[in-house]
Structure 1
Amino acid sequence: MKEPRSTHMMAAHNLLRYLKGTIGQGLLFPNTSKLQLTVYSDADWARCEESRRSTTGYAVFLGDSLISWKSKKQPTVSKSSTEAEYRSLSAAASETIWLQ
């Protein structure tokens, strides 16, 4: 009798299957592009009508190539659009520091 797989094992299996299927793909870094990080971030204050939570979003480019991005509902309710923007900037800054 086969034992059920754990969620982590299934996720790892799916990741390996994805990597195997995309082995020939990669990121394009044109030689005319400067290897400089550029980061854009934004927040959508109180977008969710049910929870009033804001959405964080950011995009990180290395030269002209997008290398990282995220869009996620913030874990807490922001009291102002400024607070929502600061939370978004914090997430983008953390990602930028990790990438550097």
Structure 2
Amino acid sequence: MGAVMRILRYLKVTPGKGLMFCKYGHTDVEGYTDADWAGSVTDRRSMSRYFTFVGGNLVTWMSKKQKVVSRSSAEAEYRGMAQGVCKLLWLRRLLRDLGFGP
């Protein structure tokens, strides 16, 4: 319900923008993650990004500096992937609770 309220607040604040969803004939949940190792020149922390799509439509995205300094690019990617998978699992459970298919 919190996600629904955020969407409604967004629509209220930006009446000219709106949200665009297209029907692609499937309801697949997809996620993509990325991280850049030591991207911040001041503290050498990495940035994590993830995007989730439902039925080919972008529904969540995030770009955030990681809380710790990664020792390698693989560690930075793993941390970013862990955050993205958590969001995917949350989204899948939310959709199931709302009555959408598998």
TM-score (norm 2): 0.72
Question: Which of 52, 58, 63 is equivalent to 2:50?
Answer: 58
Measured after TM superposition, the shift of residue 64 of structure 1 is 1.4
Residue 20 (str. 1) matches residue 3 (str. 2)? no
The count of corresponding residues between Structure 1 and Structure 2 is 84
Percent identical = 42
User: Which runs of 5 or more structure 1 residues have no equivalent in the other structure?
Assistant: 1-14
The alignment's C-alpha RMSD in Å is 2.0
User: Which runs of 5 or more structure 2 residues have no equivalent in the other structure?
Assistant: 1-7, 93-102
Tell me if structure 2 keeps the 8 A contact 1:37–1:62: yes
Question: Which of 25, 33, 37 is equivalent to 1:33?
Answer: 25
Q: Which has the larger radius of gyration?
A: 1
Measured after TM superposition, the shift of residue 63 of structure 1 is 1.6
Distance (whole Å) between structure 2 residues aligned to residue 48 and residue 21 of structure 1: 32
Deviations along 1:25-49, one digit per CA (max 9) or x if unpaired, are: 345141x331011111010000001
